[in-house]
Copies of this chain bind each other. A is one copy, B any other.
Amino acid sequence: MSKPCIICVAITGSVPTQADNPAVPVTLSEQIESTHAAFEAGASIAHCHVRDDDGKPTADPDRYAALQEGIKAHCPDMIVQLSTGGRSGSGRERGGMLPLKPDMASLTVGSNNFPTRVYENSPDLVDWLAAEMIKYKIKPEIEAFDLSHIFHAALMQKRGQLAGTPYVQFVMGVKNAMPADRAVFDFYRATVARLFGDDAPWCAAGVGPQQIVVNEWAISSGGHART
């Protein structure tokens, strides 16, 4: 009856700094130790962003290579998921680390607003990132910032642009995108079940103060959770 819950730990993210919270791991060694600690505590996916020497988000493939290598050395069973999100670079730069063949990578399949700007994921860029993930046998995590993104994942699956059943994450609580709303959360779940089957796995992430709220919704509804 009981189904294991996959805990995905977003060790660093692209926004917080050590000025916000001294516990945010920023250097490679901090990131690797933080991932190791999360693994010991029960997490099984590490959602990774890297920073440059100034602590700013970057999509630098060398940084990602060093992080992936370090995580695999310290906790070989941790699933490594690299971010192709838009806060660390623009255009195809965002997928420059995919030849590293991580276990997973994040993939946003539509555009939406962020707190101060447009989160641009043009159809061409989405198609290219998905093709790279097919080429390098990387499992995408579909980041659904809005409802149409779930439908677009279904269309991409039908076209053969996504291998297997899409693993969709509901992202809630980002300012100017989808708020953390329980009725929407339930409709998201129903939509995933309708488009991908009752057994299709999904996960959910709440941002900032919504994190614990959305974690509780996800875990109590049989989903997986991003911390």
Name A residues whose Cβ lies closer than 8 Å to a Cβ of B: 110-113, 115-124, 126, 145-148, 151-152, 176-179, 181, 183-184, 187, 190-191, 194
A118–B145 CA distance with the chains assembled, in angstroms: 15
Contacts of A179 in B (CB 8 A): 148, 151
Closest CB-CB distance, A227 to chain B, in whole Å? 23
Instruction: Contact check, A121 vs B118: say whether CB atoms are below 8 A apart.
Output: yes
Contacts of A177 in B (CB 8 A): 110, 148
Q: How many copies of this chain? A: 2
Instruction: Contact check, A112 vs B176: say whether CB atoms are below 8 A apart.
Output: no
Name which residue of chain B comes closest to A125, CB basis. B118
Instruction: Contact check, A148 vs B112: say whether CB atoms are below 8 A apart.
Output: yes
With contacts A147-B184, A148-B177, A152-B176 taken as known, whether A113 is within 8 angstroms of B123 at the C-beta atoms is yes
A216–B123 CA distance with the chains assembled, in angstroms: 30
Contacts of A119 in B (CB 8 A): 111
Contacts of A147 in B (CB 8 A): 146-148, 178, 184
6 contacts between A and B (CB under 8 A): A111-B120, A112-B148, A113-B126, A117-B122, A120-B120, A183-B194
Which of A145, A148, A176, A183 has the most B CB atoms < 10 Å from its CB?
Answer: A148
Instruction: Contact check, B122 vs A118: say whether CB atoms are below 8 A apart.
Output: yes
